[in-house]
């Protein structure tokens, strides 16, 4: 009974996946994984959008050239729910549809969950987490979409200090892996720059930050840094900091989402003095053009947020590597080609492979990133910074 | 000293907000015997409806709040009438139904409004400062609306025929029905009243905090805590407990930090139950 | 009318009978048969879904035991965490013996359940529901606040494979076979407990106060049920950690309790087959819906609404009622 049920399940999967593009030619399926429901949905939907756009680009050219065939690319997305179990199940679920390349997942718990399972399934995956173990030498098929704070925190702090002199900083982030892994690295970078630090963790799901802000402000820090707090949380924190009379600059050495933070906090006048890390130089017109490209090729409104832009090169490079390797099955060969590909993207520009220093494995995309500054309620723009090892 | 006073102010404003949520939650439990897992969903929906009215239809904010209350109450009414009503005596089935509804509401909101936070601002901003202490104006307004709503709810339940009927059903359904009360008419109304309260809270609070598809999740945990503390089904207990939870949360977060602060709160609730298993103002409850 | 009770009687559970009833024997046979699946196929999907089902079944059995006493427990993830982390921490000290770990992952949560039970079993009805929910929240915070022991927010990764008589159970197939073993064991313990004390549990479920006044020492059986349910949950935690090779706080989130409860109720609380059928259907659906991205949760919600509305008494309960009606008609 049970086994028949499972066979039936497998058949249903195969039908669901196969019916849409039975056009005789070669078909290449990419997985897109991340949290697509709940509070972190925007990261996963950004991942899905990036994979969808990269696929639409090659499909618009008649498919991806693999050997002597043109392959139609389709995206199967999986909601891994920001949990280790979700990502592990997703890796298996995608493997069962014979998907060997996964754009995603996103969060640190997902990264923890997918690594051993994807390795067992022989899948190449791209994670976007800032976990301290985002890459490990024993998982050579795992790639990293963008470097964590160890690669850019120092540059950010030095740039910020030129505009905002500071002696002490209080860092606020959630009390889970998504918060602690980043704050500890950020704090070390601050201390290296002669800034004393205090760390404050809140329970994920906190909606009103007034008590935590009262606690933080009792220490009279020069700067408050919202690190990797989700953009919605960071917006509330900033709004409530200003309401509590905090006039100092606010930093954000963490994830993307400044547009959203400004929206939630109530605009430039409220935020006033702010410096932040951008995964991509958001004011580069070429980067902004990605949204138009998405509208044109996919025919939908992009999901919003900058993580979609940052994820795009990973999807494009994967397709390029598959094409150059001339195989959609031999993952090892594709990975080998991928590792040697120059880090280039039509919208993002030139970057480098990094990761050796932080993870002892050089499989991390490091594209130009941005340092944004808002001073006295005026947006001074996002300065583009070229990556250095 | 400054933190001490500030924590008190924060605690009271948190309490007002928790009270509105907990009152609805405990109302549904007290009268229908249903643990409403969708309570956070109605809170979130209230926020989104108000937002859509303000930004989409250009309605003034107070009117938008009203629409949000009506819309969430209407959805609650229909859900009770067409789904819960059929299984209202099976506590496990109703729990599952409200859970299913919550998942559907969350997905619906995510699909319609997208994953990002909305720009939804409270029309009044600023704070009253007294030396180093401050009271945000918006919190004062929320406190005023909450107090009004609590008084209004009290009047409805204790001074009207509808209220008397509802309370009779809560006390002893069999006797109440023998007296000629008709649960089929009254249950949807009670459910609508409670979900309307959740919608009101959402419409009031999300513009002060944030509005995104995840905002419903923490509501359930807070409502749980508050009603356990207050005593299930007890309206006075829920209101009292809401302020206690708000104040304990504020003080423990200010003095122990966010993570340990939450732990302190949970452990306190656990301890209270050891010494007073029916909560602060609760009575012996029917087996659910 | 209480349909569940009606169905329960029709299923013959309230009557005196042999030590194991038909439902229990069927349940055990299902898991005995499940050992064959890893040997018959190598499909990644079957392995993955079956493994998740086997974890879910064990957790749902823990919920089901509590439901026998009319207690709805949200504490399953709490005890799963204790069982799972026991195994993960033991692995760091190179303790990998399968039998030893099985015993430990059952015994430790059961031990912790003794004082906790003294605390929470005083409560009934919805208070019990809410307080066990709070317990699972406390467990999350404790995990975060003890990084030295549990790895804090990062959890414990890279757990060494379980060994059985000196053999390493490292392959997918071996992990799955071990999950089959744990599910069989959990089913056996649950079946023995609930059959052996079925009258006591039934009396408590029907009317606790009446049972007490008739001289049943209610607290003794409730404590026993709670402790065994905790141990079973611990086995589920072991199975989960063994499947993921990682003990991570997100695996034991308090909201996962809702899933296990859903497995039990959707499957039907009337018989031990309920949690098994419920886990199978809902885990399979989760995997099927997962590939629908942002709609996954909503589809799952709709499925729950439909099953609960269409099949009162759960899937198994409805089937039993139908069979009974057919038999009567014949």
pLDDT of residue C233: 98
Q: Which residues of A touch C187 (CB under 8 A)?
A: none
Confidence class for position B287, pLDDT limits 50, 70, 90? very low
A274 phi and psi angles, rounded to 5 deg: -155, 135
CA A386 from centre of chain: 19
CA-nearest residue to A45 within chain C is: C294
Question: Does residue B60 register a pLDDT over 70?
Answer: yes
Q: What's the DSSP call for residue B117?
A: P
pLDDT of residue B170: 81
pLDDT of residue A20: 40
| Whole-angstrom distance, CA of residue C182 vs CA of residue C203 | 30
Q: Which residues of A touch B260 (CB under 8 A)?
A: none
Q: Are B117 and A231 in contact (CB under 8 A)?
A: yes
Confidence class for position C6, pLDDT limits 50, 70, 90? very low
Write the CB contacts of A330 (distance below 8 Å, at least 6 apart in sequence): none
Confidence class for position C4, pLDDT limits 50, 70, 90? very low
Quick one: tokens of C288?
A: 């099927």
CA A354 from centre of chain: 16
Across the B:C interface, residue pairs with CB atoms under 8 Å apart total 138
Q: Which residues of A touch C30 (CB under 8 A)?
A: 1-2
pLDDT of residue C48: 85
Q: What is the largest CA-CA distance in chain C?
A: 66
Residue C297 and residue A179: Cβ atoms within 8 Å? no
Residue A201 and residue B134: Cβ atoms within 8 Å? no
CB contacts under 8 A, B 161-190 vs C, are none
Nearest chain C CA: its distance from B61 CA (Å) = 30
Please give the full DSSP string across B227-262, using - where no structure is assigned: HHHH-TT-HHHHHHHHHHHHHHHHHHHHHH-HHHHH
| Whole-angstrom distance, CA of residue A60 vs CA of residue A293 | 12
Question: Does residue C65 register a pLDDT over 90?
Answer: yes
pLDDT of residue A61: 93
Nearest CB to C262 within list B99, B232, B270: B99
Question: Does residue C100 register a pLDDT over 80?
Answer: yes
Least Cα distance to A228 among A195, A265, A261 occurs for A261
Average pLDDT over residues C111-140: 88
Q: Are B264 and B284 in contact (CB under 8 A)?
A: no
Quick one: tokens of A312?
A: 């795009």
pLDDT of residue C237: 97
Q: Return the SS3 of A127.
A: strand
Query: Could you report the per-residue pLDDT of C183-227, keeping only the tens digit for each?
Result: 999 999 999 999 888 888 888 888 888 888 888 888 889 999 999
pLDDT of residue B86: 86
* Residue C209 touches chain B, beta carbons under 8 Å: no
pLDDT of residue A172: 95
Burial B15-37 (b: 16+ CB within 10 A, else e): bbbbbbbbbbbbbbbbbbbbbbb
| Whole-angstrom distance, CA of residue B245 vs CA of residue B255 | 15
Burial A129-152 (b: 16+ CB within 10 A, else e): bbbbbbbeeebbbbbbbbbbbbbb
Q: Which helix (H) or strand (E) holds A168?
A: strand A168-174
Measured at the alpha carbon of residue A343, what is the angle toward residues A337 and A345, in degrees to the nearest 5?
Answer: 115
Residue A211 and residue B254: Cβ atoms within 8 Å? yes
For the CA atoms of chain B, what is the radius of gyration? 19
Question: Tokens 């995206």 appear where?
Answer: A75
pLDDT of residue A310: 92
Residue A207 and residue B257: Cβ atoms within 8 Å? no
Query: Could you report the per-residue pLDDT of B172-184, keeping only the tens digit for each?
Result: 888 888 888 888 8
Residue B273 and residue C208: Cβ atoms within 8 Å? no
Q: Bridge partners of A173?
A: A201
Residue B224 and residue C130: Cβ atoms within 8 Å? yes
Nearest chain B CA: its distance from A389 CA (Å) = 33
Percent of chain C residues topping a pLDDT of 90: 47
* Residue B206 touches chain A, beta carbons under 8 Å: no
Query: Could you report the per-residue pLDDT of B264-274, keeping only the tens digit for each?
Result: 888 888 888 77
Burial class (CB in 10 A: 0-12, 13-18, 19+), C1: exposed
| Whole-angstrom distance, CA of residue C267 vs CA of residue B134 | 54
Question: Does residue B76 register a pLDDT over 90?
Answer: yes
pLDDT of residue A10: 43
For CA atoms A32, A34, A36, A41, give the dihedral sign: negative
Q: Return the SS3 of B64.
A: helix
Q: Are B198 and B42 in contact (CB under 8 A)?
A: yes
Query: Could you report the per-residue pLDDT of B132-170, keeping only the tens digit for each?
Result: 888 999 889 989 998 898 889 889 988 999 888 888 888
Confidence class for position B222, pLDDT limits 50, 70, 90? confident
Nearest chain B CA: its distance from A237 CA (Å) = 9
pLDDT of residue B283: 62
* Residue B130 touches chain A, beta carbons under 8 Å: no
ipTM given for this complex: 0.89
Q: ω into residue A105 within 30 of 0, thus cis?
A: yes
Q: Which residues of C touch B270 (CB under 8 A)?
A: 119, 131, 134-135, 138
Quick one: tokens of C312?
A: 């009162």
pLDDT along chain A (389 residues), means of 10: 41 41 72 88 91 96 92 94 88 89 92 89 93 91 93 94 96 88 94 96 87 93 93 92 93 86 90 93 91 94 85 96 95 96 94 92 94 93 86
Nearest CB to A215 within list B119, B212, B257: B257
Query: Could you report the per-residue pLDDT of C32-42, keeping only the tens digit for each?
Result: 888 888 888 88
Q: Return the SS3 of B25.
A: helix
């Amino acid at each position: 009974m049970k086994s028949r049920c499972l066979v039936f399940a497998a058949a249903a999967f195969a039908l669901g996946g196969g019916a849409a593009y039975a056009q005789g030619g070669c078909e290449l399926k990419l997985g897109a994984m991340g949290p697509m429901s709940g509070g972190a949905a925007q990261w996963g939907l950004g991942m899905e959008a990036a994979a969808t756009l990269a696929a639409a680009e090659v499909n618009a050219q008649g498919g991806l050239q693999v050997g002597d065939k043109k392959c139609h690319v389709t995206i199967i997305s999986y909601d891994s729910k920001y949990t280790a179990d979700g990502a592990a199940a997703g890796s298996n679920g995608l493997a069962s549809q014979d998907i060997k390349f996964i754009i995603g997942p996103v969060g640190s718990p997902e990264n923890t969950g997918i690594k051993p399972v994807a390795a067992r399934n022989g899948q190449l995956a791209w994670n976007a987490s800032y976990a301290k173990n985002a890459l490990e030498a024993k998982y050579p098929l795992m790639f990293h979409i963008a470097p964590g704070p160890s690669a850019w925190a120092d540059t950010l702090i030095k740039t910020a200090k030129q505009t905002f002199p500071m002696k002490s900083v209080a860092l606020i982030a959630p009390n889970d892996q998504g918060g602690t892994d980043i704050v500890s690295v950020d704090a070390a970078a601050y201390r290296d720059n002669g800034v004393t630090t205090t760390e404050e963790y809140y329970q994920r799901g906190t909606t009103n930050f007034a008590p935590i802000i009262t606690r933080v402000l009792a220490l009279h820090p020069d700067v408050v840094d919202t690190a990797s707090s989700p953009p919605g949380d960071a917006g509330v924190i900033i709004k409530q900091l200003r309401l509590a009379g905090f006039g100092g600059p606010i930093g954000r050495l963490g994830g993307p989402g400044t547009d959203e933070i400004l929206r939630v906090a109530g605009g430039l006048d409220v935020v006033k003095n702010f410096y932040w890390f951008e995964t991509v130089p958001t004011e580069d017109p070429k980067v902004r053009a990605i949204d138009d490209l998405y509208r044109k090729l996919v025919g939908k409104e992009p999901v919003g947020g900058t993580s979609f832009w940052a994820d795009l090169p990973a999807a494009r490079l994967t397709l390029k590597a598959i094409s150059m390797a001339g195989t959609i099955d031999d993952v090892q060969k594709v990975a080998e080609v991928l590792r040697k590909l120059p880090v280039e993207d039509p919208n993002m520009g030139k970057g480098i492979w990094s990761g050796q220093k932080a993870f002892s494995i050089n499989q991390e995309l490091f594209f130009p990133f941005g340092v944004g500054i808002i001073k006295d309620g005026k947006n001074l723009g996002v300065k583009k910074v070229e990556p250095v090892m | 000293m400054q933190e001490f006073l500030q924590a008190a102010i924060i605690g009271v404003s948190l309490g007002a907000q928790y009270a509105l949520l907990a009152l609805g939650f405990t109302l549904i439990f007290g009268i229908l015997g249903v643990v409403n897992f969708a309570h956070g969903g109605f809170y979130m929906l209230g926020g989104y409806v108000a937002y859509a009215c303000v930004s989409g239809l250009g309605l003034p904010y107070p009117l938008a709040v009203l629409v949000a209350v009506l819309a969430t109450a209407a959805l609650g009414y229909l859900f009770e009438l067409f789904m819960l009503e059929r299984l209202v005596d099976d506590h496990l089935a109703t729990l599952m139904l409200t859970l299913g509804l919550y998942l559907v509401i969350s997905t619906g909101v995510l699909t319609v409004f997208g994953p990002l936070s909305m720009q939804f601002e409270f029309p009044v901003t600023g704070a009253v400062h007294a030396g180093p202490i401050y009271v945000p104006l918006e919190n004062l307004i929320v406190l005023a609306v909450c107090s009004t709503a609590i008084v209004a709810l009290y009047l409805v339940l204790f001074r009207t025929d509808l209220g008397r009927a509802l309370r009779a059903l809560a006390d002893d359904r069999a006797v109440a029905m023998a007296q000629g009360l008709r649960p089929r008419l009254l249950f949807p109304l009670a459910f609508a009243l409670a979900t309307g309260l959740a919608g009101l809270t959402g419409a009031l609070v999300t513009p002060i905090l944030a509005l995104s598809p995840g905002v419903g999740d923490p509501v359930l945990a807070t409502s749980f805590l508050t009603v356990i503390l207050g005593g299930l089904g007890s309206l006075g207990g829920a209101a009292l407990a809401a302020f206690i939870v708000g104040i304990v949360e504020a003080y423990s977060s200010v003095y122990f930090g966010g993570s340990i602060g939450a732990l302190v709160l949970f452990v306190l609730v656990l301890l209270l139950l050891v010494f007073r298993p029916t909560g602060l103002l609760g009575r012996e409850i029917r087996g659910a | 009318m209480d349909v569940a009770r009606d169905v329960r009687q029709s299923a013959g559970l309230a009557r005196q009978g042999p030590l194991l009833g038909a439902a229990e024997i069927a349940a055990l046979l299902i898991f005995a048969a499940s050992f064959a699946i890893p040997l018959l196929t190598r499909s990644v999907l079957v392995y993955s879904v079956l493994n998740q089902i086997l974890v879910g079944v064990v957790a749902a059995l823990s919920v089901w035991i509590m439901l026998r006493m009319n207690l709805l427990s949200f504490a399953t993830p709490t005890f799963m965490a204790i069982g799972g982390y026991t195994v993960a921490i033991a692995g760091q000290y190179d303790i990998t013996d399968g039998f030893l770990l099985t015993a430990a992952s059952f015994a430790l949560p059961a031990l912790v359940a003794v004082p906790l039970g003294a605390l929470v079993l005083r409560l009934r009805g919805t208070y019990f529901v809410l307080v066990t929910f709070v317990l699972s929240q406390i467990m999350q915070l404790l995990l975060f606040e003890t990084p030295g022991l549990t790895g804090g927010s990062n959890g414990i990764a890279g757990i060494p494979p379980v060994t059985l008589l000196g053999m390493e159970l490292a392959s997918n197939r071996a992990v799955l076979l071990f999950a089959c073993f744990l599910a069989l064991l959990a089913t056996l313990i649950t079946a023995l407990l609930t059959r052996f004390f079925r009258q006591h549990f039934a009396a408590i479920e029907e009317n606790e106060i009446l049972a007490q006044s008739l001289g049943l020492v209610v607290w003794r059986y409730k404590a026993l049920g709670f402790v065994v349910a905790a141990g079973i949950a611990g086995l589920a935690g072991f199975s989960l950690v063994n499947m993921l090779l990682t003990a991570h706080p997100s695996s034991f989130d308090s909201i996962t309790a809702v899933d296990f409860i859903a497995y039990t109720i959707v499957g039907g609380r009337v018989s031990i087959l309920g949690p098994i059928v419920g886990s199978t259907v809902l885990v399979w659906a989760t995997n099927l819906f997962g590939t629908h991205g942002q709609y996954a949760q909503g589809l799952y919600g709709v499925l729950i609404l439909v099953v609960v509305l269409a099949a009162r008494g759960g899937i198994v309960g409805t089937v039993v009622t139908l069979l009974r009606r057919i038999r009567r008609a014949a």
